[in-house]
Structure 1
């Protein structure tokens, strides 16, 4: 077994092939928004509630050194842009695979927005990171969206399927995509790529049960799990809501069983 496979196993440690990622990279793009102002607190309840992995920028990984006991897997996020700047959808690299290894990460993640003016540069960066991941046996999470001036509006399921295929073709070990509209699109995506696909939580959803039903639908369609950020850390009871998501993904429970309020 190669080094990459061992690292991937740290994210899929339950042995069921499913994954709950807790992305916490929002501080660069959005600032200290509600829910992540006290990152150490968020990491503590993320671990206690059963998240399989975090997505963190390099500086926030220092908090993990203070937490005793076993840690989930950690993807160090290599992409960045801010809402303050003129090109929010243009992601640039702010780290490397080698740096992630030195800092103790188990994998790296890259964000690509298809349809943006800077799509060619983002694809080039993805190629370079993928090459380095192959060299260092480092797992690569590709977060790929359809956003920007040239993206279809509204975003079509076909374009989401195209995005997933791009990530797979360019070497992703795990793919994070936004949820398409139709379950058939989820099924086609799950069948058409050779690596696990997780569904993004997306913007804050006021209807908790609808959100959980969407996760259940994705799992039924063959997706490997979810990557949920805002819908957890901006929830009034984030630890309990994350535990409910873990119950859906890993325990095969129904929405009514994990969330009865």
Structure 2
């Protein structure tokens, strides 16, 4: 087992609910009342939540009282200079000072690594930021979580979860300093298991935009865990549902108890 507090659970896996979307989407549907959304997530008792540092700071007491750890987002990713809009622009920048992040006593610091950009200078800045953050966190016992994604113009949307792309991106991310990977799930155990097996660092999966059914999302999580993944960092597919607490409870049983999807969910 790894020494990271994030993965210090009875199963060695972690259920992290991502609610850092205000950084990029603003007051989006399903997240207009930040405290209400936070409370609905905390009621499900995840192992941790992924949040922006100022969100963590403002709701620190509420989060601490729930006994839930935090992973903090270190960079800013959005798609427009208009608030909460998606104009197809790649607006990425290093966001927050490591000193601020560490003051929040996180169990992880998360950054994205965006592949497929046309802007080579922006890509270079992204790579440099990850390498620098890896060095700044070294010796702190706080792992750097890198989320390699294929969002750039040079990668067609249908290839964002292609096994070859994901495998190559995963390899590059830990070579740049990732302690934990937050990867897109490729869709089946056969293609995802080798990626996990070949990674010397723990793998977790991301969720992406909410789509399909909760049962389909749970099936993907079940497949990822069966492939050797150590947990999830999923957001909208949880907090945009009618009952986030129930969804988190179902995820908990799949991730920690290896219960079947049929045993924990019916639609």
**Aligned-pair distance for 1:181?**
3.6
1:95-153 Cα deviation digits (max 9, x unpaired): 12222112333321111111112222111110010110115342111111012122255
CA distance in 2, matches of 1:103, 1:67: 11
Contact 2:188–2:223 at 8 Å: present in 1 too?
Answer: no
What is residue 60 of structure 2 aligned with on the other side?
64
Q: Which residue of 1 aligns with 2:78?
A: 82
In the alignment, is residue 201 of structure 1 matched against residue 186 of structure 2?
no
For these two proteins, the number of residue pairs brought into alignment is 255
Q: Which residue in 2 is equivalent to 1:101? A: 102
Report the Cα distance in structure 2 between the residues aligned to 1:58 and 1:137, rounded to whole angstroms. Answer: 18
Deviation readout 1:34-62 (Å, 9 max, x if unpaired): 22222222332323312111111111112
Partner of 2:155: 151
Q: Secondary structure of 2:212's match?
A: coil
Q: CA deviation at 1:88?
A: 4.1
Matched with 2:238 is 232
Alpha-carbon shift at residue 68 of structure 1 (Å):
5.6
Counterpart for residue 185 of structure 1: 191
Q: Structure 1-normalised TM-score?
A: 0.90
Asked if the contact 2:215–2:266 (Cα under 8 Å) also holds between the matched residues in 1, the reply is no
Q: CA RMSD in A?
A: 2.0
For structure 2, the 5+ residue unaligned runs are 82-86
Structure 2 matches for 1:1-261, cutoff 5 A?
5=3, 8-9=4-5, 11-61=6-56, 62-67=58-63, 69-85=65-81, 88-116=89-117, 117=119, 118-155=122-159, 156-261=162-267
Q: How many angstroms apart in 2 are the aligned matches of 1:60 and 1:44?
A: 13
CA contact (8 A) 1:90 1:122 kept: no
Q: 1:126 to 1:87 in 2, by over 3 A?
A: farther
1:15 is displaced (CA, Å) by: 2.5
Of residues 13-22 and 77-86 in structure 1, the stretch that sits farther from structure 2 once superposed is 77-86
Q: 1:81 to 1:14 in 2, by over 3 A?
A: closer
Check whether the contact 1:197–1:223 (CA below 8 A) recurs between aligned residues.
yes
User: In 2 relative to 1, CA 21–148 (structure 1 residues): closer, same or farther, beyond 3 Å?
Assistant: same
Instruction: Output the TM-score relative to the length of structure 2.
Output: 0.88
Q: Gapped runs of 5+ residues in structure 1?
A: none
